Chains A and B, each alone.
Chain A
């Protein structure tokens, strides 16, 4: 029996068209547009001025406060603008535009592909270096990684879990990274384990990536402290809480963090970035982006510099098909539609999905027929139909009691609803409002 989380979940069509395509380096764009807020928390502050020449890997935005992250230049060139511009959040945010003139990396960055296994530095230095390298959670939530690694007082970690689940349909960036950079990812995991003082590591991979499981199982033989687990294919297994439950059987308490049960979860992409930062001195300036969709002529996994316009990546994958109705940043379940393709690739951009017109439209929604499908699929054990009604009626106190803040916004409820009700929209609204009320109370 394969492991999985016990409650709820759905199985949307996988459509992983680009799973067999190797990671290709995307061309350098003419200009990059690097937002200063690519992470959760306080935006970074620009430390370059207009007209400055910057090199690849140079710090251009320094983190402000603990929950914040550094931003580095992903190209060599001249800063032409520091202004607000549109990013994938749908709003204009402060960003640095750089006119690309070449690709001259900072001398301290090791660009060779040699594998460096020995971890020469101490745990504290590792965390400091991760902060300096501007590493954030690459799974999409973009939570600054150094914060996750700095344990709160009185808490100890026992297990580090690497998240190679990639349960979102269509996306294959983590899958390809695991196949091509498996060794590096495992060393990254060992670095994270060292930083946290943990001697047990787990890697969870869904069973639809059999080649990656095989590859990792072989690689992990040399590290007795690391175990690789195949998992039953079920969405949203990539959710932190679901993955912990599936692998360890521990349940993160409502309102709590994984560290409350002694677990820290990192994405495989983050692990690779950690390897590069510690062993190669390379800050987070590029990431793998899957560009895919049913009509896309060559679905691909592109290694793109942060700040590359999305439009250029779509061109590299064969351009926008004629009947495209929606362009989504991320996967079809949790991704967000873009209102422009001029937005840059950010640290959390795992994929660009082009959905054909007929599939992109929402169906007419009708009344709730009390079929309880949403209740059955909710991985957090909530009652989405009730939460939506309460949200429409603005019953915020009851919403709080019904644990609306536990919702992980996976969208399984909206996916299964036979009446096409906008369940998640209204639950998000409730989370926003109840969250405001809770914050004001403090």
Chain B
């Protein structure tokens, strides 16, 4: 009896040892060397796996960082300069200061400004509509309002405004990963330089039709009048295909262009309310103030007041988003 037990234990132990030996030999022979820094870098990255850096995930980005000679072309938009400094530290390389960016929606054709000319009742998907026709308005460039960008956003930085039918970006949450830019079939969303206090000036339109045509289907379209181009003293504005474009690198946020735009196609966001210079100017302001602009000034005041209400605002937005998501389910 005893010998049977002994034999079993002995044979199994020998078998185990042999197996361990084989495993060890093979593990040594086929060992793939992996830079331990890859793990360190991955640890330092935000693990969002959003693809904003241009790589499929954080691990791939970490591998690319280790392989690359310099970090010039590599930037994690989610982590920003802080994370990139850490990464550079691990690798002993120079980190390049990346410019933080933020997404902007270049369409302001809300229900009010852009009349609906027909009804669409097919699949609720922007790309489907885009491949079919101009959408339920006549504008072939504008937002289709089905929220594919919002679905693509993984950072709760967007929500659909039901009043306007347009997506809205929550600046605090936007990490400029570019998922929404990719998702939009009409290339309406653009990543622009993030300015101090999230101040933004941009042409909120990508319509390349002639002025008269554009004006017909949207009251806030860029009509290509070049007034802003002439008003800009910093060469920041270029005109192409009946459309103005403001280069965010050159723009100094002087807001001259906003003043001259006859259709309110240029938006200023998160600025303090303008100082009233003369009676005439205020009169003009009051008469030309359209609802959209009013809204932005209301927002401006909020952002300019102490931090607390701003946070509250953002929270409210997030809540809205989450309730919307649950509604969908």
Q: Chain A interface (Cβ within 8 Å of chain B)? A: 84, 89-92, 336-337, 339, 361-362, 422, 425-426, 428-429, 432-433
Contact = CB atoms under 8 A, between A and B. Distances in A.
B13 interface: no
B150 to A, nearest CB: 16
A362 B140 contact: no
A362 B131 contact: no
Contacts of A362: 121-122
A91 B123 contact: no
B133 A432 contact: no
Contact of A429 (B127, B133, B140): B127
A84 B131 CA distance: 18
Given A422-B122, A422-B123, A90 B128 contact: no
Interface string B123-157: 10101100111100010100000000000000000
A84 B125 CA distance: 27
Contacts of A433: 127
B123 A432 contact: no
B211 to A, nearest CB: 14
B121 A432 contact: no
A297 to B, nearest CB: 24
B2 interface: no
A356 B135 CA distance: 21
Contact of A432 (B118, B127, B138): B127
A90 B133 CA distance: 4
A97 to B, nearest CB: 14
Contacts of B133: 89-91, 336-337, 339
Contacts of B323: none
A339 B123 contact: no
B282 interface: no
Interface string B104-127: 000000000000011001110101
6 contacts: A91-B133, A91-B134, A91-B140, A336-B132, A425-B128, A428-B128
Instruction: List 3 tightest A-B contacts by C-beta distance, closest first.
Output: A90-B133, A425-B123, A422-B123
B42 to A, nearest CB: 26
B117 A429 contact: no
Contacts of B132: 90, 336
Nearest to B137: A339
Contact of B121 (A336, A361, A426): A361
B134 A425 contact: no
A361 B121 CA distance: 7
A92 B133 CA distance: 10
B140 to A, nearest CB: 5
Contacts of A92: 140, 209
B131 A429 contact: yes
A92 B127 CA distance: 18
A426 B134 contact: no
B118 A339 contact: yes
B140 A339 contact: no
Contacts of B122: 362, 422, 425
Contacts of A429: 123, 125, 127-128, 131
Nearest to A363: B121
Contacts of A361: 121
Interface string B219-235: 00000000000000000
